[in-house]
Amino acid sequence: MKAVFAVARNEFALVSRSKIALVFVGLMIIWAIVNTMGFSGTWEKIQQHPDAVSHMETFYTLGVGNFFYDLSMIFAFLSMCIGIITIADERSNGSLRVLTSKPLYRRDIIIGKFLGISVFLLLLMIFVSIIFVVPLMIFYETPGSLIDFLLRMSSITFITFLNCSFSLGLVMLFGILLGKAEAMVLSLVYIALEWLIAEGNILRYLGNLKIVDPGILQMYAYGLGDNFILYIDVPSFTAWLSYALPYFALMIAEVVVVVLISCSLFSREDA
């Protein structure tokens, strides 16, 4: 375990200092400012018709839900970029051989890299959530129950994190199996396919397979399409959680499976 944590700490430090991460943070700050300004116009119109819609429902659906699913797709793309660098790029430039030549199990390298990047993504998601949501709370509306609000926001962040973790694990797997260019192309195809599925263009063709698709599991966990939507203040949080737990379990299982497959394949290949 010490070896895994050592690799994870090193990977976290490398990713947090990367140009990709710095540019991403800058873009998220700009987007948060634009989102806050855009919500102000919607909020003024709502104030003119206070009986037309619940203010708290508006806060969740427009203030929170308006950007979080798009944010999930952007984080999945970021996971792809980082995943390509951490395996495929390091294999192509030979830097991965430095780790494999050390007294480390190869599975420790994969698990350590995955954990280090995952922790970075989780902390980055929390930061981005704060800069998006806190201005809305300060300038426009404060949730009635702060505890309920924090539970919902934590759940939204966790669902987004699980989806991105799967994308990261899958891209790392592509990097083990393929060269850098091939892994990048296949990763882009996967991201595009998930976007098309989310838009509903090919959802009807999936049949029973849609229950194992990571993007669909994410939507089900949110409660989209059912009566347990996390983005609104009804039903209760506990009712939503009871509904969403099976989808949580499936999402976690998919992440574990893809990482274990990566460990198995990387342990067998000749570096």
Q: What type of residue sits at position 164?
A: C
Q: Distance between CA atoms of 67 and 244, rounded to whole angstroms?
A: 21
* Average model confidence (pLDDT) across the chain: 77
Structural domain span for residue 214: 2-268
Indicate the range of 2-6, 150-154, 204-208 predicted with least confidence. 204-208
pLDDT (tens digit per residue) in 19-66: 888 899 999 899 888 877 776 666 666 666 555 555 555 566 666 666
**DSSP letter string over 78-147?**
HHHHHHIIIIIIHHHHTTHHHHHTSS--HHHHHHHHHHHHHHHHHHHHHHHHHHHHHHHHHHT---S-HH
Higher pLDDT, 194 or 98: 194
pLDDT band at 115 (very low <50, low <70, confident <90, very high): very high
Q: Distance between CA atoms of 151 and 237, rounded to whole angstroms?
A: 8
* Coil, strand or helix at 264: helix
* Coil, strand or helix at 239: helix
Q: Is the pLDDT of residue 142 over 80?
A: no
Lookup: tokens for 233: 């203040």
* Coil, strand or helix at 263: helix
Q: Distance between CA atoms of 163 and 30, rounded to whole angstroms?
A: 24
Q: Is the pLDDT of residue 120 over 90?
A: yes
pLDDT (tens digit per residue) in 188-198: 888 777 776 66
- Tell me the whole-structure pTM to 2 decimals: 0.82
Query: Cβ atoms within 10 A of the Cβ of 93, count?
Result: 10
Q: Which burial class, exposed, middle or buried, applies to 88 when counting CB atoms under 10 A from its CB (0-12, 13-18, 19+)?
A: buried
Q: What is the pLDDT of residue 123?
A: 94
Q: Is the alpha carbon torsion for 168, 112, 15, 270 positive or negative? A: negative
Indicate the range of 95-99, 173-177, 210-214 predicted with least confidence. 95-99
pLDDT band at 76 (very low <50, low <70, confident <90, very high): confident
Q: Is the pLDDT of residue 129 over 60?
A: yes
Q: Percent of the chain, pLDDT > 70?
A: 68
State how far Cα 155 lies from the chain centre: 12
Q: What is the pLDDT of residue 190?
A: 81
pLDDT (tens digit per residue) in 9-23: 888 988 888 888 889
Q: Under a CB-based contact definition with an 8 Å cutoff, are residues 91 and 243 in contact?
A: no
Indicate the range of 105-119, 138-152, 219-233 predicted with least confidence. 219-233
Q: Under a CB-based contact definition with an 8 Å cutoff, are residues 4 and 111 in contact?
A: yes
Q: How many domains, the chain?
A: 1
Residues 6+ apart with CB under 8 A from 271: 96, 97, 100, 101, 106
Angle (deg, nearest 10), helices 106-139 and 237-268: 150
